[in-house]
Structure 1
C-alpha cells in the first residue's frame, strides 16, 4: 500500500468517526453560519467608511468591522474544537459535501431574493440597471447596493463575511484533517525513519501525527491575504467589486459558494496528497508569495493614494502624473476623477 493510499484510508476512517460526532452541529452550523456573520456585521463596533460615488450620485456609508468579525469567528472555532471539545477541528473537512449543498441552497435563494427585491423594494431605485433580459439581470444583478436599513449592505457583507471569513477557517480544518490522518506516514515506504517538518519543527520518529510544511505554507499565504483584506477593508470600498458591480448571481452565489470552495482547493489537494518541501524550496515559495503580494498591494495603494489626494502627491519621489476625467451620473451632475499614469501604472 502506498503512502497516499494509507493516507486516504486514514482520512476516510477519521471522517467517518467524526461525522457521527459532528452531525448535529453541522446541521445547526449550516443554518446559522450566514445568520451569525450577519449579526456580527450588524452589532459589532465599526468605523464608517465611504465608497465611490454611484452612477446616481450617492456616496454611501459602510460599516467596516471585518477584522473583528474574523477574529471572533476563528476564536469560537478554535476554542470549541481545542478547549471545549464541542466539535472536531476537522469538522468542515469531514462534512464538506453537506456544507456545499447548504451553501448552494443559500446562494440560489439569495440570487432570487435580490432580484425580486430590486423590483418591489429597492434601496436606491435610481441606481438600478435593467438589461431587458431576465437571465442577464439574474446573473449580473439589478441593484447596485441592496441594503437593509441605512448600513447593512448586501454587497460588502457577502463579499467579505461568509466566504472570506470561512476561507481561512476551511484551510485550518483541512490542516487538522491532515494532522489526524497522516499518522504513521512518518515511516518511509522502505520502513526507515524519515524527517518531516511538523507543527513543532523537525520531527523524527516512527509514529505520530504532523502537518506538512506545504500545508503550513498554504495557511500562511492565504491568511496573509485575508487578514490584510480585513485590515484594509476601508480601501476595498473603492474597488471594482463595490464601486461598479451590481449584485446578482455573480456575487451572491460567487461569494457564498465559488469563493470558499474554489479558493481552498489547494488545501483539499494537500490533505489527499501530502507533500513535504525541502527547507530551501519552502523559503523560496514563501518569499515569492510575500513578494507578489507586496507588489499587488503597492499597485493598488498607489491608485487609491493618488485618487484620494486628487493628484496632489508624490509617487516614487516624483510628482504624480494622471489623467483628469469627467463623467456624468444619472442625475445629470458632472463629476471628475483621476486616472494614475505614474509609478506601477505608467513609468
Structure 2
C-alpha cells in the first residue's frame, strides 16, 4: 500500500468519525516524521537491551569485555535469543500490571476533573497512585521481612525476562489503543491524525484511550513503570545484601541511589495531585490539586507507542541502571563523599520543588511570594521573578542536578552509568525548544518581550 493509498484509506475511516473537531487531519510535527517514528520504534527496545548487556555482570562489566568467557559469541546463536524469554518473568509482569489495575479500581481516591477538551467535555480521573505505591512497598517489605533479602532478588535474577515481557506488553497495549481510536466519535490527538499509520501509531492517534472510566494514559504515566523502577532498586539492594551477608553490609552508594530515587518517585506520585506540602505530612494532609491533568502530556499528546513503551519499559529498566551496576561493582563512598552527594541532590530537589510550587500556586490564582509577572495581549500571565525569573525552565535545572546526584555514587569508572543524565539532558533541551516554539506562536511579540526579561532557557546564567 503506497503512502497515498494509506492516506486515502485513513481518510475514509476518519470520515465515519462524525465530528470534524474530533477527527481533523494534522501534519507531521517533526522533520522526517514517519521515518523518524519507525526508527524510534525500533531503536527504543534495542537500546533497553543494549544498556542491559552493555552494563552487565554476565558479560564481564560495564562496558562489557568482548573476551569474557566468549559470551559475545553467543549473539550469533539462536539459543541466546531464546534466553531473552522467561515465562515466569512474563507471568509476573502481567500480574504486576493487573495488580496496578486492581489497586486503581479498589483503593479509595478522589475523582477529579481534568481540563476542558476540544469536544467540550472534561474527563474524570481517579487519584490513588500514591496509595498504590505505598501498598506495593508494604507488600515488598513484607516479603523481605518474612523471607529475608534473598526472597526479593527475583527482579535482579530475571531482569532480562522482565524487559522482554515489558516490551511485549507495552507494544500490545499501544496496538490495542491504536485500534480503539477508530471507534466512532473518538477524540483524536492534535499530532496523531496525519494519515500515516506508522507516525500515528508512534505518537498516539487517540488523545485519551479509555475503557469506561479507566484512562490508559494517566494510569501508565503514574503507576506500573514508575513504581516498578523502585521495586527493581529494592531488588538490587536485596541482591547485594544476599551476597555480602545482610543489609548492614550493603554499600552506602547503593543505599543513596535507592533513597534518592524512591523519594523522587514518591514526590511525583504525591505532589502531582497535591499542594506543595512536605512528604511527611502525607498521612494528615489531603488537599488535592490536579497538576498532572493540566500538563501537555495529558491535555495534548496522544497515547501510542512512545508513551506506552516509554512508561512501561524504558523508564523502569533504564532508570535503574545505577543500582544494577552497584550490585556487581560496589562503591564505598565514606562519610565525606556521601555528605557532599546528599547536599548536591538536596539542592536539585529544592530547586525542582520550589520552582514547581511557584508555578502551581500561580496557576491556581495564588501568589504568596508576590512574584512579578508579564501580562500578554491574550490575558495570559507569565512569571518573570522568583525561580521563573532566573530561567524559563528552572524545574528542568533541578531535575538535571538530581540526575547527576544519582550517578555520582557509581564513581567515574564508566560513562554508561551517566546515561540517564545524558538522556534527560537531551530530552529536556528538546522539550524546552518545543515549548518555546509553541509559546512564540501563541504569544507573538509578547513572547519576545518575555525572552528579553528571562533570557536563560534552563540553567541560570549558563544556558
Q: Give the TM-score normalised by structure 1.
A: 0.76
- Which residue pairs with 1:339 in the alignment? 382
Match among 344, 350, 361 for residue 305 of structure 1: 361
Deviations 1:39-84 (A, max 9, x none): 1112210012333333444332211101111111121222123315
Q: What CA distance in whole angstroms lies between the structure 2 residues aligned with 1:24 and 1:129? A: 34
Deviations 1:245-276 (A, max 9, x none): 21111101110000000111111111121001
Q: What CA distance in whole angstroms lies between the structure 2 residues aligned with 1:337 and 1:113? A: 38
Contact 2:218 2:298 in 1 (8 A): yes
Q: Does 1:91 align with 2:134?
A: no
- Which residue pairs with 1:170 in the alignment? 232
Q: What CA distance in whole angstroms lies between the structure 2 residues aligned with 1:82 and 1:182? A: 18
Contact 1:313 1:320 in 2 (8 A): no
Q: What CA distance in whole angstroms lies between the structure 1 residues aligned with 2:184 and 2:96? A: 26
Deviations 1:176-222 (A, max 9, x none): 11111245xxxxxxxxxxxxxx844xxxxxxxxx2100000001100
Summarize the alignment of residues 9-88 of structure 1 with structure 2, pairs less than 5 Å apart: 26-83=89-146, 88=151
Deviations 1:268-327 (A, max 9, x none): 111121001020110110111121012112112212211110xx6243xx354143464x
Alpha-carbon spacing, 1:304–1:295, altered in 2? closer, same or farther (3 Å): same
Displacement of 1:236 in angstroms is 2.5
Q: Does 1:146 align with 2:200?
A: no
Deviations 1:148-177 (A, max 9, x none): 11x311111101111011111110001111
Contact 1:49 1:237 in 2 (8 A): no
Match among 322, 326, 338 for residue 266 of structure 1: 322
- Which residue pairs with 1:233 in the alignment? 272
SS at match of 1:143: coil
Displacement of 1:34 in angstroms is 0.6
Indicate the structure whose relative CO is greater, using CA pairs within 8 Å and at least 6 residues apart: 1
Match among 171, 179, 184 for residue 108 of structure 1: 171
Contact 1:322 1:342 in 2 (8 A): no
Alpha-carbon spacing, 1:44–1:231, altered in 2? closer, same or farther (3 Å): same
Unaligned runs of 5+ residues in structure 1 are 10-22, 184-197, 201-209, 327-335
Summarize the alignment of residues 190-229 of structure 1 with structure 2, pairs less than 5 Å apart: 199-200=247-248, 210-229=249-268
The alignment covers a number of residue pairs equal to: 292
Alpha-carbon spacing, 1:265–1:84, altered in 2? closer, same or farther (3 Å): closer
Alpha-carbon spacing, 1:176–1:121, altered in 2? closer, same or farther (3 Å): farther
Q: Does 1:156 align with 2:218?
A: yes
Q: What CA distance in whole angstroms lies between the structure 1 residues aligned with 2:149 and 2:387? A: 49
Q: What CA distance in whole angstroms lies between the structure 1 residues aligned with 2:389 and 2:123? A: 31
SS at match of 1:159: helix
- Which structure has more strand as a fraction of its residues? 1
Q: Give the TM-score normalised by structure 2.
A: 0.58
Q: What CA distance in whole angstroms lies between the structure 2 residues aligned with 1:289 and 1:113? A: 40
Contact 1:66 1:233 in 2 (8 A): no
Q: What CA distance in whole angstroms lies between the structure 2 residues aligned with 1:85 and 1:272? A: 20
Alpha-carbon spacing, 1:129–1:137, altered in 2? closer, same or farther (3 Å): closer
Q: What CA distance in whole angstroms lies between the structure 2 residues aligned with 1:177 and 1:121? A: 50
- Which residue pairs with 1:323 in the alignment? 375
Alpha-carbon spacing, 1:237–1:124, altered in 2? closer, same or farther (3 Å): same
Displacement of 1:343 in angstroms is 1.7
Q: What CA distance in whole angstroms lies between the structure 1 residues aligned with 2:352 and 2:149? A: 39
Q: What CA distance in whole angstroms lies between the structure 2 residues aligned with 1:120 and 1:48? A: 26
Summarize the alignment of residues 240-259 of structure 1 with structure 2, pairs less than 5 Å apart: 240-259=296-315
Deviations 1:61-108 (A, max 9, x none): 211101111111121222123315797211100111111111111011
Unaligned runs of 5+ residues in structure 2 are 1-55, 62-85, 274-290, 391-463
Q: What CA distance in whole angstroms lies between the structure 2 residues aligned with 1:33 and 1:291? A: 34
